[in-house]
Chains A and B, each alone.
Chain A
Amino acid sequence: KQEVTQIPAALSVPEGENLVLNCSFTDSAIYNLQWFRQDPGKGLTSLLLIQSSQREQTSGRLNASLDKSSGRSTLYIAASQPGDSATYLCAVKVNYGQNFVFGPGTRLSVLP
């Protein structure tokens, strides 16, 4: 059964710092991996999607990498801003099904 973990659980940084969020999954047989942002009490906003054959994806200040064989993905946020404060979730789409398995999230606070 696929399990997804994320570290750290929470992170507080001053504005302008570059930071890395980590995601690990136990079964490397994934179809793709997606990073989401969730603001308190709100829905999930898709940030980046990495297919299993890809190594990384970039969107603006965000870069996500995938190392399928080691079961890891990282989300790199450059030059963090207070508006980046949110919970970041990673989710893997398993090969044998259509559903996503979510990690518990990393709660990020960027202080002005």
Chain B
Amino acid sequence: EPEVTQTPSHQVTQMGQEVILRCVPISNHLYFYWYRQILGQKVEFLVSFYNNEISEKSEIFDDQFSVERPDGSNFTLKIRSTKLEDSAMYFCASGRNTEAFFGQGTRLTVV
């Protein structure tokens, strides 16, 4: 059964460093999303991507974040200068405008 895959599963980075989180969505899906979950808190929407552009973003998704679909299969989230408060589980999801399928997440730890 097709699934959304995310790499790496866990990343530790120093404050101020740039990180790129990678996702391979399900191949025939058209909508792509990033969400994050800070430990013990709700899953929060970051950004949605459709037709090669951002379709919606939350207040969390400020100038330090960016997304890209560089080669038609991968979907990446870049955090330019990480802060301690960026430590969270980051989930990628894809869908065809109805149901969303989520990956297993990347746990980002900023030290």
Contacts and interface: CB of A to CB of B under 8 A. Distances in A.
A32 B95 CA distance: 13
Interface stretch (A18-26, A74-82, A101-109): A101-109
B99 A43 contact: no
B82 interface: no
A49 B102 contact: no
Nearest to A101: B45
The DSSP consensus for interface residues of chain A is strand
Contact of A42 (B45, B93, B105): B105
A51 interface: yes
Interface string B57-99: 0100000000000000000000000000000010101000111
A35 B101 CA distance: 11
Contacts of A98: 31, 33, 48, 50, 55-56, 97
Nearest to B98: A32
B100 A43 contact: no
Contacts of A99: 33, 45, 48, 56, 58
A64 interface: no
The DSSP consensus for interface residues of chain B is strand
A103 B44 CA distance: 10
Interface string A16-50: 00000000000000011010100001111110010
B45 A46 contact: no
A66 interface: no
B43 A44 contact: yes
Nearest to A45: B102
A34 B43 contact: no
A89 B102 contact: no
Given A100-B100, A102-B43, 8 more contacts: A36-B102, A43-B91, A45-B102, A98-B50, A98-B55, A98-B56, A100-B45, A103-B42
Interchain residue pairs A-B with the least CB separation, the first 9: A43-B104, A44-B102, A99-B45, A102-B43, A98-B48, A49-B99, A43-B105, A97-B56, A104-B42
